[in-house]
Amino acid sequence: MPRSSAVRLSHFLPSLVLLLAGLAAAYVKDLNVFFTSLFNVLPTLVLLLGGAYCAVYRRQRELFLMITVYIAYFLLDTQTDFYRDNGKVRDDAAVVFHLVCLLLPLLFGLFAAWQERTHLFQDMVARFAVLLIFGSVALALEQSFPQALLLWLSEIRWPALHGAWMSLIQLSYPVFIAAFVLLAWQYWRHPRPLHAAQLVGLLGVFWMLPKTFILPFTLNIMCSQVMLMIAAAVAHEAYQMAFRDELTGLPGRRALNERMQRLGRNYVLAMSDVDHFKKFNDTHGHDVGDQVLRLVASKLSKISGGGRAYRYGGEEFALVFAGKTIEECMPHLEVIRESIANYSIQLRNPDSRPQDDQQGRQRRAGAGASSVSVTVSIGVAERIEQRTPEEVLKSADQALYNAKGAGRNCVIAYGQNRRGAVRMEAAAG
């Protein structure tokens, strides 16, 4: 998955929008009856719809994250309803609130970092068992030793670290910090929309808890938003699975097919293929072959002139130029072809791999490394008269075949003969 700033922003953007919307809604005063009624049912509605969505996609981790948030909402909502109706808190309000402040970030971080690695049913049983154990122990302590538990939770253990701004029990802060560091590390290692949503959701929970008894409907709104973040992340990843190629990070063939239906009257399509890829793959191995495909995809993704790259399949890539003519596109295709051809890939001997990073840095460009390069052939076709996108793509594929026959590492337009292609390649060199 590419790790550019734009991609990372796209991971966080939906969750940040939901978080800001929740913050704005929480500070709105004098809500009318419609919004008051909506906020009362919104968390349950989000859980039912989002939970069903997660269940359909067999996303156990996300489902239990939503269940954890909803249990916390239910426990605190009971307290806030009593407070609004009677003007005072229940006798067990403090101990319940402190337990939620401690267990919610703990379980949220645990379930967020717990990836599905076993059979789905076994995974579900294990997660349910963890939730049941924590809930049962907390309930038993709260029912049997409420005062002792309250004193233990509210005790200030590190006076030097306690600030006047702290509105939660001191124990909850290290738990929040540990959960945030864990989830930040998870996102850094595996950048995904879900991991971004978990981070933003944890921030929303951290903001929400101190405002539970202060701002009306803060609990309802923010719990709903956090669950929506998780559901939206599942939808985002489902979209990526369907429309984005996992190896290269480029949009896949399904995305190309959809884009081709919205190209308008004037456009150019190009087909690109890695030269001698099978031989290269057999010689250097599939890992190096994958590295080559990622390199070519990275170069093609930077195509100028308004082009957009797609993974067509195997070692083939498609390039789409909407609203362009073939004369406008050819210089940009030549630039990208030359950029790929001039790039050297460093290969190390797998039998003499360095034992540590320091040796690796010393030997990276030394005798233990060899350099190889790859080239691509490109065929280009332009829409003329009433041709369909599929016909234009077929013509580009025919031009690609001609480029292969012309000696490879060249760009050929549909209808251009091989001799002209050879001359073009020589002129470009």
pLDDT tens string 214-223: 888 899 999 9
Cut 0.75: pTM above it: no
pLDDT-derived band at 398, boundaries 50, 70, 90: very high
pLDDT-derived band at 141, boundaries 50, 70, 90: very high
Distance CA 169, CA 173 (A): 7
Distance CA 18, CA 96 (A): 27
pLDDT at 49 over 80: yes
List, by residue number, the catalytic residues: 315
Selection from 258, 262, 293 nearest residue 277 by Cα: 293
Where is pLDDT greater, at 14 or 361? Answer: 14
Cα distances from 262 to residues 54, 253, 272, 389, 395, in angstroms, run 31, 15, 21, 10, 19
Distance CA 322, CA 394 (A): 17
pLDDT tens string 100-135: 999 999 999 999 999 877 677 888 899 999 999 999
* 93 close to 83: Cβ distance less than 8 angstroms: yes
Least confident of 119-133, 259-273, 350-364, 407-421: 350-364
Least confident of 101-115, 192-206, 314-328, 371-385: 371-385
Selection from 353, 340, 235 nearest residue 295 by Cα: 340
- DSSP-assigned letter for residue 351: G
Token pair of 144, please? 């049997």
Phi-psi group of 368: left, alpha or beta (phi > 0 → left; psi -120 to 50 → alpha; rest → beta): alpha
